């Protein structure tokens, strides 16, 4: 049984609006990134209390904290970023999220990624160590997402990060569209090497020739091939809708209620066609 989730702030900046659409679609989880046009890590305790109560009223749970951790330059102040990461861990515990999404730092344009490898690995290891020591009661797992322009934007460098850090607290989130926009065919170029470390799947697709983001199965993200392989491998976990069908940027995207529904239908149609059960 596979479990659907989604970046509900792509529906609306208003949390009640997010929840209403998820209710209509029958989605019982969300990947919490923002509400009321405020990033999850910048919500104060009173706002987070309101979030928790609103989600409980709708019977919704949080699959992951969609944090911006690691979306700073590789030479930017890391000590201050670690304090922000502490907030991410605290929010994950408060909202009972099993995962926190993060990234492996933007590189200066034109630089050889290899020249920044040691610093990236130092930072990623520090984040994993911080998560391991944060709380014995809430064993959160960190999910590295392959974003454009960061060290881990290729399958090979994603593998390098997770194997070199070697922490059970650091796993991989798979984003097919981001791989496509970096010039890769995700399943062909990356699935076999990354599957042992793959924990979570972001659902969006893209066209290789143009980079345009499209609903799942309508681009070059090899979504159907990946679904078949995951089923054959016995994968169980979250599939998080991140459509980006109306707008996209380095820190998020937007679709609106109608296009979010289009993205949901495109993905669930694929699951039905493949005979894959989901909830």
From first to last of the 279 residues of the chain, give the pLDDT tens digit.
899 999 999 999 999 999 999 999 999 999 999 999 999 999 999 999 999 999 999 999 999 999 999 999 999 999 999 999 999 999 999 999 999 999 999 999 999 999 999 999 999 999 999 999 876 567 899 999 999 999 999 999 999 999 999 999 999 999 999 999 999 999 999 999 999 999 999 999 999 999 999 999 999 999 999 999 999 999 999 999 999 998 777 777 889 999 999 999 999 999 999 999 999
Would you say 99 and 143 are in contact if contact means Cβ atoms under 8 Å apart? yes
Distance CA 199, CA 219 (A): 23
Residue 149 CB partners (closer than 8 Å, separation 6+): 106, 107, 250
pLDDT at 134: 76
First to last CA, the chain: 7
Helix (H) or strand (E) holding 94: helix 78-94
What's the DSSP call for residue 108? P
Residue 262 CB partners (closer than 8 Å, separation 6+): 215, 243, 245, 255
Q: Is 1 exposed, middle or buried (0-12, 13-18, 19+ CB in 10 A)?
A: exposed
What are the distances in angstroms from CA 6 to CA 36, 66, 207, 263, 268?
Answer: 17, 10, 21, 10, 13
pTM of the shown model:
0.96
pLDDT at 139: 84
What are the distances in angstroms from CA 63 to CA 5, 73, 119?
Answer: 7, 27, 30
pLDDT at 136: 57
pLDDT at 84: 97
pLDDT at 247: 77
Q: Is 214 exposed, middle or buried (0-12, 13-18, 19+ CB in 10 A)?
A: buried
What are the tens digits of pLDDT across the range 217-267? 999 999 999 999 999 999 999 999 999 998 777 777 889 999 999 999 999
pLDDT at 135: 61
What's the DSSP call for residue 78? H
3 state DSSP class of 238: strand
What are the distances in angstroms from CA 203 to CA 29, 117, 127, 226, 239?
Answer: 14, 28, 25, 11, 6
Would you say 7 and 261 are in contact if contact means Cβ atoms under 8 Å apart? no
């Amino acid at each position: 049984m596979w479990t659907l989730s989604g970046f509900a702030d792509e529906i609306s900046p208003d949390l009640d609006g997010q929840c209403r659409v998820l209710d209509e679609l029958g989605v019982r989880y969300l990947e919490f990134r923002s509400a009321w046009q405020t990033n999850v890590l910048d919500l104060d305790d009173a706002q987070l209390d309101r979030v928790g109560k609103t989600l409980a009223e709708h019977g919704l749970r949080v699959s992951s904290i969609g944090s911006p951790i690691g979306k700073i330059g590789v030479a930017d102040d890391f000590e201050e970023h670690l304090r922000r990461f502490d907030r991410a861990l605290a929010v994950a515990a408060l909202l009972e999220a099993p995962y926190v999404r993060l990234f492996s730092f933007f590189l200066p344009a034109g630089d050889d990624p290899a020249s920044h490898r040691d610093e990236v690995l130092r930072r990623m290891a520090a984040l994993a160590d911080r998560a391991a020591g944060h709380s014995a009661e809430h064993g959160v797992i960190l999910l590295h997402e392959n974003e454009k322009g960061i060290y881990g934007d290729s399958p090979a460098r994603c593998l390098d990060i997770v194997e070199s850090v070697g922490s059970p607290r650091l796993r991989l989130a798979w984003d097919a569209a981001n791989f496509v926009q970096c010039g890769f065919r995700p399943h062909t170029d990356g699935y076999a090497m990354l599957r042992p470390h793959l924990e979570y799947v972001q659902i969006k697709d893209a066209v290789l020739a143009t980079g345009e983001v499209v609903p799942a199965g309508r681009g070059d993200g090899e979504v159907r091939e990946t679904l078949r392989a995951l089923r054959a491998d016995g994968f169980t976990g979250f599939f998080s809708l991140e459509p980006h069908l109306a707008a996209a940027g380095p820190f998020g995207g937007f679709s609106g209620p109608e296009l979010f529904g289009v993205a949901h239908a495109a993905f669930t149609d694929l699951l039905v066609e493949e005979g894959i059960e989901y909830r």
